[in-house]
Structure 1
Amino acid sequence: MNTRIFLILAAVLTIFACNSNPENTSDSVNDSLKNKAIETKSGLNFAISPYENYSIIGDEFELTITMNSEIKVDSVSVFLGEKLIQKFTELPAKVKVNTKDYVVGFHEFKAVLNDFSEIKTQQIQLFSDLQPKKYTIKVNKTYPHDIGAYTQGLIMVDGWFYESTGMQGESTVRKVKPETGEIFQSNSMAKEIFGEGITKFGDKLVHLSWQSYTGFVYDFKTFKLEKQFSYATEGWGITHNGKQLIMSDGTENLYFLDPTTYAVVKTLGVYSNIGPTKQLNELEYIKGKIFANVYMTDEIVIINPENGKVEGIINCAGLLTEKDKHPNIDVLNGIAYDEKTGKMYITGKRWPKLFEVSY
């Protein structure tokens, strides 16, 4: 996305995102809770201890349910998401919870009195129990790169780079010859569209837009537009795992999409041992892991797609010399992987160079 616009938006927006637990919360159950819940009258209390602002995967908690009034208690049910943990017929009551099998992110517990006559909720946030491994980037080869290309997405297919560029009036999808940086094929987007990431899925090229909430599907060979789809968040980066598309929106969340309907089938929060990793941008799926640029930094994080834990951080600082820098140069963005050769490539927005790298 546009750095200048982002800085303005970041000053006024706070993004709240929740990650699903092992038993993802059901919309139908939530609707039922909302419809049947009434104003608190009986004084049901629900506490989690020990807990403050966050905890770590593997920590244990004790849930305590008490009542402030003499109302008859027929039952109190304790849920994690939609899963019933335990049911009681008298209070006070206690439940012990071990989080070792949970995923990172937010989890909500509910105490439900007498068949939904009263509900109390408590939420916890879990950080990763892993300390990410630290890596330093190594340049193996340098290629030319168009300094006018505000790089949003990058892939390598059959010896060619396919790149998407951003900015309104400048957004394109292009096929580029690595050795020369020559643009062999290009397709421009409508002037009002701010282009974002791309990925190849089957014989299609899937392309996101930033704040138009619209994705575009092209024939991979001809770049002919075949269909469009919509999504509820901003569009930033996109990749795939062979079965699902994986999309970022600048938060700590990754969205797994059905490649036929483009519906979200899973939301995964990304966390390290110090908290959520926000501003996830360009994505690439490499050997079973998700590699993501962290916007406005020189870092690429390596994410476990099963649990959202950050397993590694690649420091990419120092790739450009002072001579490489120009007034319009912008941040690191763009990760490509050649499955045939096992080579990895990175670049940045309006960078004069593109690098084959290892770490």
Structure 2
Amino acid sequence: MMFLLAVALFADPAVATPPPAPIERCGYRIVQTFPHDATSFTQGLFWDDGHLYEATGQYGQSRIARLDLQTGKALAETKLPADQFGEGITRWGNQIIGVTWQGGIGNRWSIKDLKRVGTFKYEGEGWGLTMVGDSLVLSDGTPELRFLDPATMKEQKRVTVRFGERPIAMINELETINGQIWANVWMTDFILRIDPVTGKVVSLVDLSTLKADAGVSGTDSVLNGIAWDAKKKRLFVTGKNWPKLYEIALADCR
């Protein structure tokens, strides 16, 4: 996937196709670093009312948790059944909605106490989740984002994510920030900022040196997890089994 995205970024200008509109590319700076549980295989992350909420994966280890930002410790948590591989989560009303990888089973928990209050089914895989307006948006490993009614899970529409004219697959964890969908791309160090109406990538955030700062290695320890504190305008990112969580700011956008 890293190669495919690189191809999209640095395509041969001699190819006889109309040049795409310029796509902004941004770096980052670290604002602050916080501890993160290195045993957490981070799949979903969001900020709400003073706390981080995290979903983790792996069979027999998946959970959702309310985290203390300063310590990284779980203030409350609920484990998923051992046969479920947890994936993305998001808030809808007084619920947290979450999906699983290949089981086609989703869960609903009360955000107050993290107790499960319901389940639902859907087709295909579940990767990331976010809310855009009144719609629940699901990524499933393909270039398509599915827009769903969060009450009924009925599909409303699909949008294809494109970098220029190229569909981009492996769209993973999602977060909505100022009307755009921010998305991790699995197995890369990039975050894409996506127009939810057209699916076009309008900006790319390059975090390629952050993994080294986190001191992790291995193919599974990839960047994954985006959370936005809308009140204080803080952007948090982390990765799978990373010992650190970062507040970052965009820099050197061009």
TM-score with structure 1 setting the length: 0.63
Q: Distance in 2 between matches of 1:205 and 1:323?
A: 28
Alpha-carbon distance change, 267 to 174 in structure 1, aligned in 2, over 3 angstroms = same
Corresponding position: 1:208 with 2:115 = no
Q: How many residues align?
A: 236
Alignment match of 1:178 (pick from 69, 76, 101) = 69
Alignment match of 1:316 (pick from 198, 207, 232) = 207
Partner of 2:228: 337
Partner of 1:303: 194
CA contact (8 A) 2:20 2:165 kept: no
Which aligned pairs between 1:1-359 and structure 2 lie closer than 5 A?
A: 129-321=20-212, 324-325=215-216, 330-359=221-250
CA contact (8 A) 1:131 1:272 kept: no
CA contact (8 A) 1:201 1:240 kept: yes
Moved more, 148-157 or 265-274: 265-274
Q: Distance in 2 between matches of 1:184 and 1:198?
A: 17
Partner of 1:33: none
Alpha-carbon distance change, 244 to 322 in structure 1, aligned in 2, over 3 angstroms = closer
Secondary structure at the aligned position of 2:211 is classed as: coil
CA contact (8 A) 1:198 1:239 kept: yes
Secondary structure at the aligned position of 2:142 is classed as: coil
CA contact (8 A) 1:199 1:239 kept: yes
Post-superposition shift, 1:270?
A: 0.6
CA contact (8 A) 2:44 2:225 kept: yes
- AA paired with 2:22? Q
Q: Distance in 1 between matches of 2:86 and 2:238?
A: 17
CA contact (8 A) 1:130 1:272 kept: no
Secondary structure at the aligned position of 2:152 is classed as: coil
Q: Distance in 1 between matches of 2:116 and 2:141?
A: 26
Post-superposition shift, 1:321?
A: 3.4
Post-superposition shift, 1:131?
A: 2.9
CA contact (8 A) 1:197 1:207 kept: yes
Q: Distance in 2 between matches of 1:155 and 1:324?
A: 23
Secondary structure at the aligned position of 1:234 is classed as: coil
Q: Distance in 2 between matches of 1:225 and 1:199?
A: 14
Q: Give CA-to-partner distance per residue, 1:116-165, whole Å, 9 cap, x none.
A: xxxxxxxxxxxx94332110021110000000000000001112110000
- Structure number with the bigger relative contact order (C-alpha 8 A, sep ≥ 6) is 2
Q: Distance in 1 between matches of 2:70 and 2:55?
A: 18
CA contact (8 A) 1:176 1:185 kept: yes
Which 5+ residue runs of structure 2 have no aligned equivalent? 2-15
Structure 1 stretches (4+) deviating beyond 6 angstroms? none
Work out the percentage of aligned pairs sharing the same amino acid: 37
Secondary structure at the aligned position of 1:320 is classed as: helix
Q: Distance in 2 between matches of 1:303 and 1:153?
A: 18
Post-superposition shift, 1:267?
A: 0.4
Which 5+ residue runs of structure 1 have no aligned equivalent? 1-5, 7-53, 57-127
Alpha-carbon distance change, 219 to 55 in structure 1, aligned in 2, over 3 angstroms = farther
Partner of 1:80: none
CA contact (8 A) 1:138 1:358 kept: yes
Q: Distance in 2 between matches of 1:322 and 1:234?
A: 32
Instruction: Report the aligned-residue RMSD.
Output: 1.9
Q: Distance in 2 between matches of 1:353 and 1:260?
A: 35
Post-superposition shift, 1:193?
A: 0.5
CA contact (8 A) 1:215 1:230 kept: yes
TM-score with structure 2 setting the length: 0.88
